[in-house]
């Protein structure tokens, strides 16, 4: 051993002098960023990695909620085929593994499969087929009744008014609004007398046959009240059609009693709207009705253990004020009430954000839904799809996370300007490759987050079947 040490190569005189490297965990992280912890914390759904640092990128609107992230809503935008839906699908599936419930409004049909893009994912997660809406109805088609007693009074009046205004293309004045409110009340009463639930056609009939007493109560004559509501009744007739005329835009979808084969406790519920003409009034109205229906029947307090709040014990946390919180549930063994979190994903969200009345409805819905732990995810191509009304601006402001996939120059510039992002991001957005996006989470910009798909997810996200030439890419082995 001593001999060895005496060998000249080991003598300090001949050794290259290097300063010793003292490392500690944070130092090694700084030197090799991919081992550093994800910036947004490690709780949540794995998205992929940040390209510039190699760090893992994990995001959860519920875990990150607080100082850095004031709200849980997200807008995903980008040109066609850049990976918006693939991201939303895997994000939903990964969030479900964390115990969340997801509802999807699926608007894009995969022609070769004759079903919506999300059908396969929904089936693989829950074993259930989508809840389908088809103009004209038909076997297996669903119907939601905007007059359903499950929708509370004030909300119902707002909803029916929105339907009429969307059909009319403008807002109702005070007289027409008042006639509509009266007709909704009368429709419920007259249908109740016949032992059934009111539908939209009953509102149209009540608008055409006002009661003397209702007119007097409003200091109007019966004819004046009739005049106030006549136009709205025509709109409802046109939308719902009649027994002789089945051409109404909403026929078979919103004109009858609610018939939804939907398990409200399922991890994922897919509403298939792919047969509803895109950009038409029916799609817009249907989305509005589904949102309000979900608000009334789906968004109810429920613990992650599956029990209602009433099944949890009240634990007094401050004897002085008597303040209490929901504690354990002995039946399920759950230690503390934790609200089950929900995610509502809306493909082609310009159906909502592009229409001021709907944007206003959405804004109210999101404010209300926050108390139920809901995160809204809306997918759009560009902000130019979306109108610039104050209602839309207000709804856009509700999104605290914005994910931007590649866009063309003009659209990227418009996006950057409208969102108040730094000017360098416009050029950067045009260069992003498929599956890579610029994320804005609260105030912080993550310039390039690569969304990683694992092999098992790839077939559920593959949306390019119609554009892929399988015969030339996969030659027959024979």
Instruction: Pick the stretch among 134-142, 249-257, 325-333, 461-469 that binds ligand ATP (CB under 6 A).
Output: 461-469
Q: Is 351 in the site for ligand ATP (CB under 6 A)?
A: no
Query: Site mask, ligand ATP, residues 385-424, x = CB under 6 A?
Result: ----------------------------------------
Q: What is the dihedral of CA 424, 429, 435, 437, to 10 degrees?
A: 50
Q: Is 453 in the site for ligand ATP (CB under 6 A)?
A: yes
* Residue choice 49, 55, 84, 238 for contact with ligand ATP (CB under 6 A): 84
Q: Is 392 in the site for Mg ion (CB under 5 A)?
A: no
Closer residue to ligand ATP, CB minimum distance, 108 or 128: 108
Write down the least CB distance from residue 306 to ligand ATP, Å. 32
Q: Is 464 in the site for ligand ATP (CB under 6 A)?
A: yes
Q: With contacts defined by CB under 5 A, how many residues of the chain interact with Mg ion?
A: 1
* Residue choice 56, 60, 86, 294 for contact with ligand ATP (CB under 6 A): 86
Write down the least CB distance from residue 392 to ligand ATP, Å. 20
d(CA 225, CA 179): 6
Q: Which residues from 431-450 bind ligand ATP, rule CB under 6 A? A: 434-435
Q: Is 90 in the site for Mg ion (CB under 5 A)?
A: no
Q: Which residues from 139-158 bind Mg ion, rule CB under 5 A? A: none
* Residue choice 85, 107, 162, 406 for contact with Mg ion (CB under 5 A): 85
Task: Indicate which of Mg ion, ligand ATP, none lies near residue 78 (CB less than 5 to 8 Å, by partner kind).
Answer: ligand ATP
Q: Is 462 in the site for ligand ATP (CB under 6 A)?
A: yes
Q: Residue 332: is it exposed, middle or buried by C-beta count within 10 angstroms (0-12/13-18/19+)?
A: middle
d(CA 308, CA 301): 6
d(CA 441, CA 5): 58
Instruction: Pick the stretch among 79-87, 188-196, 253-261, 423-431 that binds Mg ion (CB under 5 A).
Output: 79-87
Exposed e or buried b for every residue in 439-475, given b needs 16+ CB within 10 A?
A: bbbbeebbbbbbbebeeebeebbebeeeeeeeeeeee
Instruction: Pick the stretch among 253-261, 278-286, 324-332, 462-470 that binds ligand ATP (CB under 6 A).
Output: 462-470
Query: Site mask, ligand ATP, residues 41-80, x = CB under 6 A?
Result: -------------------------------------x-x
Closer residue to ligand ATP, CB minimum distance, 241 or 378: 378
Write down the least CB distance from residue 459 to ligand ATP, Å. 9
Nearest to residue 285, comparing CAs of 411, 159, 112? Answer: 159
Q: Is 227 in the site for ligand ATP (CB under 6 A)?
A: no
Write down the least CB distance from residue 55 to ligand ATP, Å. 17
Instruction: Pick the stretch among 123-131, 185-193, 332-340, 456-464 that binds ligand ATP (CB under 6 A).
Output: 456-464
Write down the least CB distance from residue 56 to Mg ion, Å. 25
Write down the least CB distance from residue 86 to Mg ion, Å. 8
Write down the least CB distance from residue 161 to ligand ATP, Å. 32
d(CA 304, CA 340): 5
Structure tokens at 118: 């999300």
Closer residue to Mg ion, CB minimum distance, 82 or 312: 82
Q: Which residues from 359-388 bind ligand ATP, rule CB under 6 A? A: 381
Catalog residues that contact Mg ion under the rule CB under 5 A: 85
Catalog residues that contact ligand ATP under the rule CB under 6 A: 78, 80-86, 108, 381, 434-435, 451, 453, 461-464
């Amino acid at each position: 051993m001593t001999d060895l040490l005496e060998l000249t190569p080991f003598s300090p005189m001949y050794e290259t002098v290097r300063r010793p490297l003292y490392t500690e965990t944070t130092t090694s992280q700084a030197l090799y960023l991919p081992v550093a912890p994800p910036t947004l914390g490690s709780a949540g759904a794995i998205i992929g990695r940040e390209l510039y640092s190699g760090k893992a990128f994990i995001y959860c609107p519920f875990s990150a909620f607080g100082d850095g992230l004031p709200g849980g809503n997200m807008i995903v935008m980008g040109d066609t085929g850049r990976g918006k839906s693939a991201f939303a699908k895997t994000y939903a599936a990964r969030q479900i593994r964390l115990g969340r419930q997801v509802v999807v409004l699926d608007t894009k049909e995969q022609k070769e499969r004759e079903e919506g893009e999300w059908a396969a994912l929904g089936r693989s997660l829950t074993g259930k087929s989508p809840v389908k809406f088809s103009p004209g109805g038909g076997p297996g088609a669903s119907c939601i009744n905007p007059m359903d007693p499950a929708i509370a009074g004030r909300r119902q009046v707002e909803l029916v008014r929105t339907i009429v205004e969307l059909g009319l293309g403008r807002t109702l004045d005070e007289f027409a609004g008042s006639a509509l409110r009266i007709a909704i009340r009368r429709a419920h009463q007259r249908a109740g007398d016949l032992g059934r639930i009111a539908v939209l056609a009953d509102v149209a009939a009540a608008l055409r046959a006002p009661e003397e007493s209702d007119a007097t109560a409003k200091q109007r004559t019966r004819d004046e009240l009739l005049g106030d509501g006549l136009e709205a009744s025509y709109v409802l007739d046109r939308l719902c059609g009649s027994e002789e005329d089945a051409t109404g835009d909403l026929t078979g979808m919103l004109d009858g009693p609610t018939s939804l084969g939907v398990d409200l406790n399922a991890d994922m519920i897919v509403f298939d709207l792919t047969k509803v003409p895109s950009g038409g009034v029916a799609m817009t109205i249907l989305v509005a009705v589904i949102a309000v229906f979900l608000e009334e029947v789906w968004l109810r307090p429920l613990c992650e253990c599956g029990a209602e709040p009433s099944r949890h014990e009240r634990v007094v946390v401050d004897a002085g004020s008597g303040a209490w919180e929901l504690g354990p549930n002995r039946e399920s063994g759950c230690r503390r009430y934790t609200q089950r979190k929900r995610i509502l994903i809306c493909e082609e969200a310009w159906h909502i954000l592009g229409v001021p009345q709907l944007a206003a409805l959405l804004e109210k819905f999101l404010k209300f839904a926050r108390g139920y732990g809901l995160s809204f995810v809306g997918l759009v191509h560009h902000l130019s799809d979306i109108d610039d009304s104050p209602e839309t601006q207000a709804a856009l402001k509700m999104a605290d996370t914005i994910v931007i996939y590649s866009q063309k120059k003009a659209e990227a510039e418009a996006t950057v300007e409208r969102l108040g992002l730094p000017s360098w991001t416009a050029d950067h957005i045009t260069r992003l490759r498929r599956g890579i996006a610029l994320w804005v989470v609260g105030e912080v910009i993550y310039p390039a987050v690569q969304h990683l798909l694992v092999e098992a997810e790839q077939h559920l996200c593959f949306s390019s079947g119609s554009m892929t030439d399988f015969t030339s890419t996969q030659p027959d082995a024979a």
